[in-house]
């Protein structure tokens, strides 16, 4: 009645739902989806349009063909993964699906550009900090610079690759006033082509504040 959800009871009405798939199956398919929709649709013989969309039906068929253990996979399973992803990694519309960020394939973004927060944040290693503050932030191996809505989400995104990452604060008001476009992708992720050094400053925090951010992130997850 209220759409897909994780767990046994609907968070809206506390009623039991209809089983779709277990957590292990969801995570396996979600990882495969991320690879296909962000990096290698051609390996699964899928056609992706200029905005990153592929057919949900063709995606589910392609995954089940490659992995016979997923012979049960149908469109509704893809739709359930999209609906329950906490970070908004995917978007479904009109029978199609796409990843909202982290692409290495060439696509043209048509994501929303309104209601951008006044400040966004970028994590990096301590060794990179001075270089980025002086030279600006570039996308590297990705197509876009990925910024976070909050210091907490940036710190936890950075913790995947760096111990106690440094955090750069980005002045988006000045960026947009200068003609730079910022896209809203996913739940807490924002994308832009480049962040020039003049819009960057360092966020200072101590070990206690960092530990608190980790705890807050765990509660959000």
| Full-model pTM | 0.82
What is the model's pLDDT at position 219? 45
Structural domains of the chain ordered from first start: 23-99 (1.10.10.970), 119-220 (3.20.170.30)
Q: Which helix (H) or strand (E) holds 91?
A: strand 90-93
What is the model's pLDDT at position 220? 46
What is the model's pLDDT at position 152? 87
Q: Give the chain's mean pLDDT.
A: 91
How far is residue 218's CA from residue 211's CA, in Å, rounded to a whole number? Answer: 11
Other CB atoms within a 10 A radius of the CB of residue 121 amount to 23
Q: Name residue 71's beta-bridge partners.
A: none
pLDDT in tens, 138-179: 998 788 999 999 988 898 888 888 888 899 999 999 999 999
| CA dist list (Å): 54 to 48, 122, 140, 208 | 5, 30, 25, 45
What is the model's pLDDT at position 54? 97
pLDDT in tens, 192-218: 999 999 999 999 877 677 667 666 655
For residue 221, pLDDT over 50 is answered with: no
Structure tokens at 118: 């006044």
What is the model's pLDDT at position 210? 65
pLDDT in tens, 119-138: 999 999 999 999 999 999 99
How far is residue 189's CA from residue 174's CA, in Å, rounded to a whole number? Answer: 19
Task: Put the strands of the sheet holding 145-148 in their side by side order.
Answer: 183-185, 189-192, 145-148, 119-124, 166-171, 200-203
pLDDT in tens, 15-74: 999 999 999 999 999 999 999 999 999 999 999 999 999 999 999 999 999 999 999 999
| CA dist list (Å): 165 to 14, 98, 130, 160 | 40, 30, 13, 9
Q: Which single residue is written with the structure tokens 């759409």?
A: 3
pLDDT in tens, 176-194: 999 999 999 988 999 999 9
């Amino acid at each position: 009645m209220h759409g897909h959800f994780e767990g046994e009871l609907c968070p809206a009405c506390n009623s039991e739902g209809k089983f779709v798939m277990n957590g292990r199956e969801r995570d396996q398919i979600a990882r495969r989806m991320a690879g296909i929709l962000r990096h290698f649709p051609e390996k699964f013989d899928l056609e992706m349009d200029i905005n990153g969309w592929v057919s949900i039906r063709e995606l589910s068929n392609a995954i089940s063909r490659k992995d016979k253990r997923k012979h049960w996979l149908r469109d509704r399973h893809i739709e359930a993964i999209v609906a329950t992803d906490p970070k908004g990694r995917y978007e479904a519309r009109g029978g199609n699906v796409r990843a909202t960020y982290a692409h290495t394939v060439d696509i043209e973004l048509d994501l929303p550009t309104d209601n951008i927060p006044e400040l966004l944040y970028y994590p990096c290693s301590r060794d990179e900090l001075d270089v980025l503050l002086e030279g600006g932030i570039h996308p590297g191996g990705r197509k876009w610079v990925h910024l976070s809505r909050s210091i907490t989400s940036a710190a936890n995104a950075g913790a995947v690759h760096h111990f106690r990452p440094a955090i750069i604060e980005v002045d988006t008001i000045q960026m947009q006033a200068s003609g730079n476009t910022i896209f809203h992708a996913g739940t807490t992720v924002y994308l832009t082509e480049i962040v020039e050094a003049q819009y960057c400053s360092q966020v200072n925090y101590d070990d206690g504040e960092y530990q608190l951010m980790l705890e807050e992130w765990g509660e959000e997850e």
